[in-house]
Structures are given as structure tokens and as C-alpha cells.
């Protein structure tokens, strides 16, 4: 019998590889299972490229299964060679502990950690790997995995020319050890990962098979790499990665990333990232085809994702800033919201002194000449902190310096500049 969850994952384009599709479907039809995703704490925040396996795990939780979230306090100190051409920089224990705390807080936004039923649980592989001696590791696990088996793995084979340390060479065995530990102690029967984790997942199944005399019942699935229709990398902006941490990527910037999705990508993103039903997504797909100018699908995607990661408060702030910028009504924003909204606009540093508006426009390169600056002012094209300025004798002074530090100048409908006073 077809499993509705598997059918939904296939429709959403979330299934790439399965170690035994038929066996896993039978397992999901017969019992509620525990399954896990591992995340190494290489930074104190995840970015949106990290969360597809986690969101997939949440879909399993919604279907009644238990998510086990593994934070790699141990493997994060070793470094995963997957998807890399060079060695990772090793982190200190203090850095790892700081990063683990950051990831834990973000996972708590995505999952239900309730103690009853299928509440998610968080584990740290340092709790068991950290207790192993070198002798224990080599005798108990090193003997299970043949070097030829490891050399055949893409993640290792691709590094043989450029070089790979013994440290990173052993990473896949450590991840296999994790799957085996969770299989024994948390009844975890499925590992979920990105497509680059296939080699690590299959090593885990190999370790489980060789450490159990009875027949085992474990599976692995991977999720395809998310790509954009134009072939460029997903999850990157001109400013870099789109982070889940609001200090690195504000809720407004996060919202803008999703609302600017191309028509060719937005339906795919709705399927992969949101928990909207098939009917809701198909209705939005129709809207993209028939009323693309309304951008209903993009606004829904941005709203759903911002609410999931930043909560209702983060969504409200993002929508408020978006509406104010669209209308030009900056007076609706607080000083803090203005700083967030204009973090990425062109800026210039100027001395903290009173200055005539025409002179300032030229000095800040907002208008090309004094003649142009005078035309801009008299034509009503210039606003200071949301207030239109039409007086050629207007002076920018303390009243215009927000927090005595900056001012926002708008020329025309959409060209904003931030003046930073020093």
C-alpha cells in the first residue's frame, strides 16, 4: 500500500535517493519510527540551504513519527569532506559549544519538542564519541570498514588529488558510528540528509549491519540539492548567505529574499519549504500563470517562511518595513526599523555639521551637480527621513540626524541613500 507521506514527499520533489524504497515504505506503513538528521556546528547559525532536510524531518513529525536532531559536537571538531575541495579549519571546544547553542535555538523554532508522543529530541554526538579512546575507535569501528570501501566513496575519491587528511578520511566512519548509536539507543531506523550525505548514510548502514547479529531494519534517504531555474546557486544574495539568525540576516532581508523569488522558481520553493497543502500550492501555481503581476505566490512564500523562522513578530516587522518602503512613508518606521530597512543601500560618511540641502546632495553624490540638485529639490524629488524637502535653503542639521548618527535621503521614487555622520 502506498504511503501518503512518501507520496507527498515525491510530489514535493524531496526524494532523491533511497537505500530501499520498498522496505522503508513498508516500515512507515507498519509503525511510527524515529529518524534523524545530523547538523555539524561549523557556525552559530544555519542558513537556508541547511534547512531542507530539517523541514523534511518535520513533515515526518507531522505524520506521527519522532524526529531526532543530532548536533555534531564531536564530528564538528573533525570536519566533513563532503562537498569540499579543501580541509576545514578546526574549531575549538568553546567555539563548538557556542555554535551548538545557536543551532539548538533555531531547531526549537522548527520542531515540536513536547515530551509526549512524538516530540523531537536533541542529541549531541560528543556525548558518546567523546568517550571513545583511540584504541576503542580503531578496534570497534575501524575494523568494520574496508579502506577500499572508503576510497570508492565520491566525497573521498574527489579529494585524493588535492589531498585529504586522515582526520577527514575517518569522518564517514564517525557518522556511521552515530547512526549505529542512535539505532541502538533511540530506535532510530532512518537517516535523512542532503544529496552530499549519501556516502555517510550508507556507511552508517554498513556499520549497523556489521555490529548486529540479527537482521537489521535501517534505511537512508537523501534530498536533492535545491537549485534555481537559471542555474545560479540557491540561497545566496549579493550580501552572501541567507542566515536564520536575525543578527546576520534581518527578518526584513529574509522576507525580501523569498518575495523576490522568480516565477520559474516560486512553486518549487512552495513545495520544498512550506507546509501548505497540495491544493493551496496548486491554487498559487494557477495565480502565477494567470496573474503573475500580483505575486501572490511569492508573498505567500515569504510570509510562511518568515513566520516559521522568525515568528509572528518578525513577520510583522518585515511586512511593516516592506509596506513603508513601497509607499515611501518612512515616518511609519521606528529608527531601529529604518536601520534594518536601509542596511544594504548606498551609504556615505559625512562630517557631523549643518549643511545646505543642495550642497549635501552634491557632496553625497546623490545629485550630479548643483544645478541638478536644485532641480531635484524644487521638483519635489528629495525626501529626508520620509519628509519631502522643496526649500532650496533647507539645512540638514541635528533635527535630521537620527540617533545623531544617520539620515535617509530619497531621490525620486526608489533611490535611497544613507548618510552616516561622523
Read off the pLDDT of residues 273-314 as tens digits, 9 standing for 90 and up: 999 999 999 999 999 999 999 999 999 999 999 999 999 999
Whole-number CA gyration radius for the chain: 26
For residues 346 and 381, the model is more confident at 381
Query: Residue 32, annotated ligand binder?
Result: no
Residue 87 has pLDDT above 60, yes or no: no
Query: Residue 255, annotated ligand binder?
Result: no
Q: Give the H or E element holding residue 169.
A: helix 166-169
> Per-residue pLDDT tens for 326-376?
877 787 888 888 888 887 777 888 888 999 999 999 998 899 999 999 999
Q: Give the H or E element holding residue 349.
A: strand 347-350
Coarse DSSP helix, strand, coil percentages of the chain, rounded to the nearest 5 percent: 50, 15, 35
CATH class for domain 4-223? alpha beta
Q: In which residue ranges of the chain is CATH 1.10.240.10 found?
A: 236-327
How much is the pTM?
A: 0.84
For residues 401 and 8, the model is more confident at 8
Q: Among 3.30.830.10, 3.10.290.10, 3.30.360.10, 3.30.1360.170, name the CATH number for the domain at 347-421.
A: 3.10.290.10
| Residue (of 366, 370, 375, 396) closest to 384 by Cα position | 396
Residue 223 has pLDDT above 80, yes or no: yes
What is residue 31's predicted lDDT score, i.e. its pLDDT? 94
The CB density around residue 271, as the number of other CB atoms within 10 Å, is 18
What is residue 310's predicted lDDT score, i.e. its pLDDT? 95
What distance lies between CA 363 and its chain's CA centroid?
Answer: 40
What is residue 230's predicted lDDT score, i.e. its pLDDT? 84
* Structure-block grid coordinates of residue 266: 516560486
The mean pLDDT value of the chain amounts to 89
| Stretch 185-197: mean pLDDT | 94
Query: Residue 171, annotated ligand binder?
Result: yes
**Contact criterion met (CB below 8 Å) for 307 and 315:** yes
* Structure-block grid coordinates of residue 127: 556525548
| Stretch 155-184: mean pLDDT | 86
CA atoms lying within 13 Å on the CB side of residue 207: 26
Residue bearing cell 511510527: 32
Sign of CA dihedral 232, 234, 238, 241: negative
- Which residues, including other chains, have CB under 8 Å from residue 327's CB and lie 6 or more apart? none
* Structure-block grid coordinates of residue 408: 535617509
Q: In which residue ranges of the chain is CATH 3.10.290.10 found?
A: 347-421
What distance lies between CA 59 and its chain's CA centroid?
Answer: 17
- Which residues, including other chains, have CB under 8 Å from residue 347's CB and lie 6 or more apart? 417, 418, 419, 420
> Per-residue pLDDT tens for 172-182?
889 899 999 99
What is residue 275's predicted lDDT score, i.e. its pLDDT? 97
**Contact criterion met (CB below 8 Å) for 310 and 112:** no
Fold category of 236-327 in CATH = Tyrosyl-Transfer RNA Synthetase (1.10.240)
Residues recorded for the chain: 422
Query: Residue 36, annotated ligand binder?
Result: yes
Amino acid at each position: 500500500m502506498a504511503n501518503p507521506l512518501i507520496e507527498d514527499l515525491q510530489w514535493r520533489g524531496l526524494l532523491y535517493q533511497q537505500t530501499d524504497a520498498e522496505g522503508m515504505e513498508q516500515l512507515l506503513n507498519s509503525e511510527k519510527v524515529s529518524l534523524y538528521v545530523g547538523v555539524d556546528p561549523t557556525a552559530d547559525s544555519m542558513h537556508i540551504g541547511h534547512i531542507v532536510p530539517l523541514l523534511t524531518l518535520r513533515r515526518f513529525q507531522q505524520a506521527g513519527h519522532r524526529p531526532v536532531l543530532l548536533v555534531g559536537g564531536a564530528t564538528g571538531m573533525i570536519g566533513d569532506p563532503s562537498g569540499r575541495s579543501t580541509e576545514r579549519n578546526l574549531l575549538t571546544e568553546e567555539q563548538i559549544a557556542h555554535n551548538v547553542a545557536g543551532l539548538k535555538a533555531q531547531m526549537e523554532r522548527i520542531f515540536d519538542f513536547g515530551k509526549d508522543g512524538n516530540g523531537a529530541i536533541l542529541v549531541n554526538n560528543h556525548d558518546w564519541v567523546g568517550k571513545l579512546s583511540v584504541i576503542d575507535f580503531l578496534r570497534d569501528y575501524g575494523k568494520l570498514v574496508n579502506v577500499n570501501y572508503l576510497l570508492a566513496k565520491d566525497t573521498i575519491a574527489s579529494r585524493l588529488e588535492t589531498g585529504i587528511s586522515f582526520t577527514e578520511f575517518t569522518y564517514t566512519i564517525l557518522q556511521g558510528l552515530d547512526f549505529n548509536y542512535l539505532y541502538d539507543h533511540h530506535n532510530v531506523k532512518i537517516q535523512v540528509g542532503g544529496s552530499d550525505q549519501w556516502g555517510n548514510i550508507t556507511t552508517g548502514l554498513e556499520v549497523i549491519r556489521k555490529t548486529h547479529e540479527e537482521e537489521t531494519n535501517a534505511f537512508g534517504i537523501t534530498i536533492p540539492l535545491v537549485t534555481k531555474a537559471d542555474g545560479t546557486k540557491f540561497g545566496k544574495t549579493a550580501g552572501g548567505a541567507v542566515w536564520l539568525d536575525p543578527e546576520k540576516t534581518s527578518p526584513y532581508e529574509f522576507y525580501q529574499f523569498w518575495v523576490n523569488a522568480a516565477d520559474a522558481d516560486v512553486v518549487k520553493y512552495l513545495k520544498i519549504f512550506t507546509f501548505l497543502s497540495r491544493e493551496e500550492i496548486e491554487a498559487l501555481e494557477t495565480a502565477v500563470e494567470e496573474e503573475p503581476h500580483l505575486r501572490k505566490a511569492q508573498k505567500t512564500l515569504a510570509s510562511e517562511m518568515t513566520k516559521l523562522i522568525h515568528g509572528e513578530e518578525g513577520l510583522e516587522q518585515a511586512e511593516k518595513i516592506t509596506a513603508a518602503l513601497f509607499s515611501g512613508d518612512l515616518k511609519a518606521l521606528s529608527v531601529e526599523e529604518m536601520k534594518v530597512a536601509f542596511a544594504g543601500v548606498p551609504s556615505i560618511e559625512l562630517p557631523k555639521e549643518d549643511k545646505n540641502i543642495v550642497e549635501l546632495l552634491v557632496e553625497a553624490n546623490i545629485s550630479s551637480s548643483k544645478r541638478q540638485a536644485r532641480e531635484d529639490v524644487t521638483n519635489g524629488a528629495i525626501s529626508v527621513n520620509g519628509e519631502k524637502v522643496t526649500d532650496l535653503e533647507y539645512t540638514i542639521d541635528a533635527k535630521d540626524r537620527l540617533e545623531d548618527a544617520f539620515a535617509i535621503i530619497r531621490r525620486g521614487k526608489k533611490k535611497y541613500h544613507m548618510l552616516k555622520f561622523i
